[in-house]
């Protein structure tokens, strides 16, 4: 197939000079300084990039918008992407550390219930290999709330998914109505974790925990 580009190249060869004089034109970060040495495939131009670098580029690539910089913008994009990657990696590492802490610390919610993590997850590399990096807006969730942190019982989940999963089985009957604690929290416009700790940690009566609403501190001190 004979392309326009090919015809242009042929004409430029015959005429011995470029059809389009690109001198002075700006393409993205590039400013065309002068005609370059021909390297075949049409005219080449010496361009000045905003980053300070000069590079000889093919005119048709400039005109068609295939090239917008000396290559520095491409490198920048890669650098940005790897930074995003680094953040995901770091967040995964923090979540792994927090998981270990929850199990190791004397924590009523975990240690006392005998919840632990599988031995090979002592090493972050193994955890990462099993779980992969944490997706945005997600955190570590156990499928069975009373089960351990292990590959078969863990998943990355959004906060909402976690609420629906781990809290679904905590049914509470109050004022003749039976629903999950998460649903109660929503209905009473309360923070779920606050409501839960009133009942589980501070041993408030159901009536008090549900009826006092979002009292400011020190309503949450143990009684």
Q: Which residues would be at the binding site for Zn ion (CB under 5 A)?
A: 49, 51, 53, 69-70, 72
Could you tell me which residues are beta bridge partners of residue 177?
Answer: 174
Distance CA 57, CA 165 (A): 57
Q: Nearest distance from residue 57's CB to Zn ion, in Å?
A: 11
Q: Nearest distance from residue 29's CB to Zn ion, in Å?
A: 6
Give the contacts of 55 (CB within 8 A, at least 6 positions apart): 30, 46, 47, 49, 70, 71
Of 69 and 162, CB closest to Zn ion: 69
Which among 154, 157, 204, 152 has a CA at the least distance from the CA of 219? Answer: 204
Q: Nearest distance from residue 62's CB to Zn ion, in Å?
A: 14
Of 33 and 145, CB closest to Zn ion: 33
Asked if omega into 211 is within 30° of 0 (cis), the reply is no
Euclidean distance between the first and final Cα of the chain, in Å? 85
DSSP secondary structure code for residue 188 in this structure: T
Q: Nearest distance from residue 69's CB to Zn ion, in Å?
A: 5
Q: Nearest distance from residue 80's CB to Zn ion, in Å?
A: 15
Of 31 and 102, CB closest to Zn ion: 31
Of 34 and 87, CB closest to Zn ion: 34
Of 30 and 163, CB closest to Zn ion: 30
Which among 202, 179, 182, 204 has a CA at the least distance from the CA of 192? Answer: 182
């Amino acid at each position: 197939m004979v392309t326009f580009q090919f015809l242009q190249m042929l004409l430029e060869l015959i005429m011995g000079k470029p059809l389009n004089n690109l001198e002075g034109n700006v393409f993205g970060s590039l400013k065309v300084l002068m005609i370059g040495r021909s390297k075949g495939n049409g005219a080449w131009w010496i361009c000045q990039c905003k980053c300070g670098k000069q590079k000889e580029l093919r005119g048709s690539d400039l005109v068609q918008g295939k090239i917008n910089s000396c290559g520095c913008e491409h490198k920048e994009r890669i650098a940005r992407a790897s930074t995003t990657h680094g953040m995901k990696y770091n967040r995964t590492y923090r979540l792994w550390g927090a998981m270990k802490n929850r199990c190791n610390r004397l924590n009523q919610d975990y240690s006392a219930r005998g919840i632990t993590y599988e031995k090979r997850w002592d090493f972050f590399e193994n955890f990462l290999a099993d779980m992969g990096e944490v997706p945005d807006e997600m955190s570590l969730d156990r499928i069975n709330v009373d089960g351990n942190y292990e590959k078969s019982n863990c998943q990355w989940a959004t906060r909402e998914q976690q609420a629906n999963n781990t809290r679904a089985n905590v049914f509470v009957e109050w004022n003749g109505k039976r629903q999950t604690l998460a649903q109660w929290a929503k209905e009473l416009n309360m923070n779920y974790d606050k409501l839960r700790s009133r009942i589980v940690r501070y041993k408030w009566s159901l009536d008090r925990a549900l009826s006092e609403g979002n009292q400011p501190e020190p309503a949450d001190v143990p009684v």
